[in-house]
Structure 1
Amino acid sequence: MKKLSYIFLFICGLLSAQNEVVFDQANTLYNEGKFAEALDKYETILKGNQHSAELYFNIANAHYKLNHIAPSIYYYEKAAAMAPKDEEIMNNLAFANNMTIDAIENIPETSISKTLNKIKNVFSFDGWALLSVISVVLFVLLYLAYYFTFETGKKRLFFTGSVLSIFLTFTALAFTFHTYNVAKNNKPAIVFAQEAQVTSEPNSRSVEAFVLHEGTKVQVLDTVSHWKKIKLSDGKTGWIPETDIKLLNIF
């Protein structure tokens, strides 16, 4: 059994080394202005089920240099999902979005909604879940201290702390479930068709609702046969053939 483990680790290390060599070759080709050749090298690594923000970013850069609007935005989005605080990725994504035709405005947020989103984004789902557990443990410890303490001042202090910790527990749990639901329902996609007709019903005989162009980001709400129900950032909804969009499938 140990021999099999060693063989597996050896193969993984060998593949990793090979990918690094190919990645360096692709970077060299990119720097030489051979963007199509570099793209082929990057995609070879991707086909080996390797995923990283750096790889997605370089693939997006190559597509951008080749004026491939939809693929460049697609891979910048995937890179941004893995490294949301990377300024270079976000800046390049903004440049790529400037190449799109569709100008779609976001629905303005209320002040309450902005505040809640800021609080929600302080932690990830795992972070809120961990905070929930910590606050529960803290509540138990403070309550036990309150129960077994007889000094009035300390008893009042422990009681206040236990009340605050249970409030923090319910708050953290609320944001944990909210973050989970947001992530679960988040199904972004990029329009890959040069021009896509969005209809009011999931069939080609339905009335055209509006037209989208390549590179536009949408949210997928539902699927019926070979049609996807999508929603734009301005609130508009409609149905589009599934072949006209590509789900981001964020890792």
Structure 2
Amino acid sequence: MKYLTALIFCFFSTIVIPQNDTLFDQANALYNDGKYAEAIDKYEAILSSGQHSAELYFNLGNANYKLNNVAPSIYYYEKALLLKPNDKDIINNLTGYAKNMTVDAIDTVPQVGFSRIINNVINLFSVDTWAQIAITGVILFVALFLLYHFSHATSRKRMAFVISLASLFFSCFSVAMAFQRQNLYKKDNPAIVFAQESRVRSEANKSSEEVFRLHEGTKVQVLETYEDWKKIQLSDKSTGWIPSKDIKILKTF
């Protein structure tokens, strides 16, 4: 049965991917002709087929920006950035252009002290890169330990022993960093406000006190979900409950 499933998947892939390539080219042509709404329809048709990429989200962000669609442009730029975190074009269009259209000016509470240093170290590499460093450290440890075991020269044995222990320590450190990076990724649940104006409440019901208002394009962190409400946190650490329909989660692909 699994072979039949794989065969069907391969069959449809050979049909869908070329069609999407054609749609992508057509959408790019429409964009270049200034027909941004029609280009968006083509790009979204590709998304509806289940295919996505940083380039697709980036182009969707560009097309929505041209139409002054604040929330969609930021949303798609942010999604592109999730797939390509260090892409300069995405960062430039997001921070240099799209975010300038937002209404809310929210301060960011900076991290200080030891926690800032640790987080900077954790975020140096992705989970996969930390794991690769750990594997490299283990391989180096085994090779140097074998050199230590079979070497006859005292100075060489001492050097091999010290470096092998350092490699083992660095490998264990990298594993710890990989787990911490993964935990940070799981806790990170960003969303973009799509409502033109949303009233954020102190509790998850409409009759509770309004604590502040947010406008389209603002980025928030989702902390909890309760029925049709999301508990969110802003970059200044303010929290409140917002209707689920007013925001879109970024990590849904």
Q: Do the structures match in fold with TM over 0.5?
A: yes
Q: Using the alignment, how far apart are the partners of 2:146 and 2:42 within structure 1?
A: 61
Q: Is the deviation greater in 204-213 or in 130-139?
A: 130-139
Point out where structure 2 has 5 or more consecutive residues left out of the alignment. none
Q: Is the 8 A contact 1:81 1:250 kept in 2?
A: no
Q: Residue 182 of structure 1 aligns with which residue?
A: 184
Which secondary structure state, in structure 2, belongs to the residue aligned with residue 180 of structure 1?
helix
Q: Using the alignment, how far apart are the partners of 1:79 and 1:7 within structure 2?
A: 29
Point out where structure 1 has 5 or more consecutive residues left out of the alignment. none
Counterpart of 2:216, as a letter, is E
TM-score by length of 2: 0.91
Q: Residue 208 of structure 1 aligns with which residue?
A: 210
Q: How many residues align?
A: 251
Q: Percent same amino acid among aligned pairs?
A: 53
Counterpart of 1:192, as a letter, is F
Q: Is the 8 A contact 1:197 1:210 kept in 2?
A: yes
Correspondences of 1:6-21 after superposition (within 5 Å): 8-21=9-22
CA shift at 1:78, angstroms? 0.6
Q: Is the 8 A contact 1:195 1:212 kept in 2?
A: yes
Change in 2 beyond 3 A, CA 1:132/1:4: closer
TM-score by length of 1: 0.92
Match of 1:134 among 88, 113, 136: 136
Which secondary structure state, in structure 2, belongs to the residue aligned with residue 44 of structure 1?
helix
For residues 70-98 of structure 1, what are the alpha-carbon distances to aligned partners after superposition, in whole Å with 9 as ceiling and x for unaligned? 01100010111112222111111111111
Match of 1:108 among 107, 110, 120: 110
Correspondences of 1:211-250 after superposition (within 5 Å): 211-249=213-251
Q: Residue 81 of structure 1 aligns with which residue?
A: 82
Cα-Cα RMSD: 2.1
Counterpart of 1:57, as a letter, is F
Change in 2 beyond 3 A, CA 1:180/1:3: closer
Which portions of structure 1, spanning 4 or more consecutive aligned residues, are displaced by more than 3 angstroms? 1-11, 111-118, 147-150
Q: Residue 156 of structure 2 aligns with which residue?
A: 154
CA shift at 1:5, angstroms? 6.5
